[in-house]
A and B are shown apart, each in its own frame.
Chain A
Amino acid sequence: MAEIELSHVDKVYEGAEAPAVRDLCLTIADGEFMVLVGPSGCGKTTALRMVAGLEDITEGELRIGDQVVNDMPPQARNISFVFQNYALFPHMTVYDNMAFGLKLAKVDKAARDKRVRDAARMLGLEEHLNRKPRALSGGQRQRVAMGRAIVVEPQAYLMDEPLSNLDAKLRVSMRTELARLQRDLNVTTIYVTHDQTEAMTMGDRIAVIRKGKLQQVGPPTELFDRPANLFVAGFIGSPSMNLVESRLRSEGDSLYADIGGQPLLIDPRTLSERPALRGHADAGKPLIVGIRPQDFNVSDGDAGRRGCQLKAKVELVESLGTETNVHFCVDAPPVVTEEVLELAAELGTDEAARVEKRAQAGRNEFIARVDPKTRVRTGDTITLSVDTAQLHFFDPGTGEVAC
């Protein structure tokens, strides 16, 4: 077990214009479960492969434990890599697959056998030890890949989207299993995924990467509650954060954000934490306001205070059993920045096109995630209360949080 430290690591592929990884600084503590997350092609896998030694580091320094390992081949790094396609040796039995690393490390036969069998028991693979990988199901293959990683007792596990080839249900159960396994073994782990749910549920800390650059790193709740920029705000959380262009307006000591003609009172505590907002209001500069779907609730009538409510005409109701998503439109131009388009593109090219079309029409669709017990129907006009202490503010120019 060891700490892993990347300092100012760059990776430029031969012939590529932009670097795949730019100035990456990240320290993964001993025993920590670090998730690297980002859209496809953002450089997260490249970063992981550099830690493994499967890619050269162009610039910067990588330490595992207290050793600089930049020029150390993967064989000498004492790490285990779990591949997206598992990369099980098809001509070897499950037992031989798991014993492979131990044989090379010249662990004697009795100890080898014990470690393989222990790992097999832990993963529920005992009956399958004599089978070849092709005779196993996807979930079992995934477990063999994990077993192969565990038995060598490495300094760190490096996992590259290990669950993405499983079907949805199995993925959820393997997610829990994997996270528990890591907690029990307490081995430093770097886990790459593009799935923000996996990141949120598994990681001790999450590092969000975009276009090779680290955006923010922190515990899941911190990324959720205080996203450092528009990209993180949009990426973390499902359904994603509602974004709207707005201007701030002073009324005496209070500050209001204008959401499509309806004022939202900015919480005094937010204001004391982010004094710059007052400057924005005075200058009359536009600002992007973000509201998480979870921070809405259906309120009865006009009981609430002024400035904490939005009136909305319901466009669509999605009932998921545990929650209900209410779609409604806000009469304000939607936010179309590079970040938003990139996040939409991640969901498919249709989605990106849809975002642009909505932008042209000046329609901004919001989603509120409300109590499933509330009876809301399409076409209703409802009043939604907003937890104004949870508003997010971003600078439209830079996409950084405005504070």
Chain B
Amino acid sequence: MTSIAARTGRARGSRTPPKGTSSRSSTMIYVTTGTVLGFLFLVPLAWAVLRSFMQPSDITAAPSASAFSHLTVANYSELITGSIHILRYVGNSLIVAVGTALLTALLATLAGYGLGRARFRFRGSNVVFALILVTLMVPFQAILTPLFLELSFLHLLDSLLGLILFYSTFNLPFGVFVMRNSFMALPSELEEAAYCAGAKTLTTLRKVVLPLVMPGVATTMLYAFLFAWTEFLGALTFITNINTLTLPVALLNVETGTFGQVNYGFLIAGAVIAMVPCAVLYVTLQRFYVSGISAGGIKG
């Protein structure tokens, strides 16, 4: 036992690169490139955040140092407490995005389990999967009119539920793809071990398989959430009632002056508010997200 420990210890030791000049210079290049790229990505964000704290007159004026001396939270307080009621739209968007994420994850997991495990294969299951992938190639913008008629027929226009169903439908192909590949990457012995221990199919899925495909689930949910949170055209088409608008459409209304004239302060502050959930999700789920994408990508 000790010899094994010693051997692995040595192996681990040898994996760290020797501290030579070549490795140090490559580290330098790595860090420098990373810093430059990070800077390029951060500048627009910082620009927007800074602007959102300026007075509207300073935003449209030529850039000057004096603009930074009277920073204010007026834009935010006006958006939240004023006549625009932005929190209502944030709420609508949250309902739609979370609902879409949950529904997509649930359906994609079940479909992926069915299509990804040899145990459940049926004649033509590959054709079914291919058909699901084909729908990825249909842009929903191309079928906006039929979708409008369909939702109208179902009385789901002007309804957040209608939007959730619509977004989920268009997120499912990718979700099923990711989940199927996640399930395929698991050795079937794990399930068989659970069966032999007395677990039924759904218990096995819940207790044994699901915890192991969580990166896939996280990827699917994140994708669906971001899609629903930022989607504009569908929301604009299917929602006409001002109380059920989602955030992107509401922000458009701020811009085009439905609530008065264009107010860049409001607009930028609204955009920053819209960015927050995305940033939080990305940072917290990044670990899952990356491994889920790569699992889905390589195995496919």
List chain A positions with a Cβ less than 8 A from chain B. 52-54, 73-75, 77, 79-81, 83-85, 87-91, 100-101, 104-105, 137, 139, 148, 152
Contacts and interface: CB of A to CB of B under 8 A. Distances in A.
Given A91-B212, A104-B203, A137-B4, A74 B195 contact: yes
A73 B199 CA distance: 10
Nearest to B214: A91
Interface in B183-225: 187, 189-190, 192-200, 203, 207-208, 211-212
B127 interface: no
A152 B197 contact: yes
B4 A100 contact: no
Contacts of B193: 81, 83, 87-89, 148
Given A89-B208, A137-B1, A137-B4, A105 B189 contact: no
B198 to A, nearest CB: 4
Contacts of A73: 195
A80 B187 contact: no
B187 A87 contact: yes
Interface of A is mostly: loop
A13 to B, nearest CB: 12
Nearest to B119: A54
B208 A74 contact: no
B192 A83 contact: yes
Contact of A74 (B1, B196, B203, B207): B196
Given A104-B203, A137-B1, A137-B4, A87 B197 contact: no
Nearest to B192: A54
Nearest to A81: B196
A372 to B, nearest CB: 28
B190 A80 contact: no
Given A137-B1, A137-B4, A87 B190 contact: yes
Interface size range of chain B in the complex: 10 to 19
Interface of B: 1, 4, 187, 189-190, 192-200, 203, 207-208, 211-212
A52 B196 contact: yes
Contacts of A100: 194, 197, 199, 207
Nearest to A74: B195
Contacts of A88: 193
A87 B195 contact: no
30 contacts: A52-B196, A54-B195, A54-B196, A74-B195, A75-B196, A75-B198, A75-B199, A75-B200, A77-B196, A81-B192, A81-B193, A85-B187, A85-B189, A87-B187, A87-B190, A88-B193, A89-B193, A90-B212, A91-B211, A100-B194, A100-B197, A101-B197, A101-B198, A104-B197, A104-B198, A104-B203, A105-B198, A137-B4, A148-B193, A152-B198
Nearest to B208: A89
Contacts of A101: 197-198
A53 B198 CA distance: 12
B214 to A, nearest CB: 9
B233 to A, nearest CB: 41
Contacts of B207: 100
Nearest to A88: B193
Nearest to B196: A81
Given A89-B190, A89-B193, 13 more contacts: A52-B192, A52-B196, A74-B196, A75-B196, A80-B197, A83-B192, A87-B190, A100-B194, A101-B197, A104-B199, A105-B198, A139-B1, A152-B198
A83 B189 contact: yes
Nearest to B8: A137
A91 B214 CA distance: 11
A148 B197 CA distance: 9
A73 B198 CA distance: 9
* The 8 A-B residue pairs with the shortest CB-CB distance in the complex, in nearest-first order: A101-B197, A87-B189, A87-B193, A81-B196, A104-B198, A74-B195, A91-B211, A83-B189
Nearest to A151: B197
A80 to B, nearest CB: 6
Contacts of A152: 197-198
Contact of B196 (A80, A89, A91, A137): A80
Given A90-B212, A91-B212, A75 B195 contact: yes
Given A104-B197, A104-B198, A148-B197, A87 B4 contact: no
B106 to A, nearest CB: 20
A262 B192 CA distance: 57
Contacts of A85: 187, 189
Contacts of B192: 52, 54, 74, 81, 83, 87
A100 B207 CA distance: 10
B199 to A, nearest CB: 6
Most B Cβ at <10 Å: residue of A77, A100, A139, A148: A100
Contacts of B211: 91
Most B Cβ at <10 Å: residue of A80, A88, A91, A105: A91
A101 B208 CA distance: 12
A88 B189 CA distance: 9
Contacts of B194: 89, 100
A235 B265 CA distance: 85
Contacts of A81: 192-193, 196
A100 B199 CA distance: 9
A89 B198 CA distance: 15
A247 B199 CA distance: 61
Nearest to B212: A91
A220 B272 CA distance: 77
B4 to A, nearest CB: 6
B181 to A, nearest CB: 18
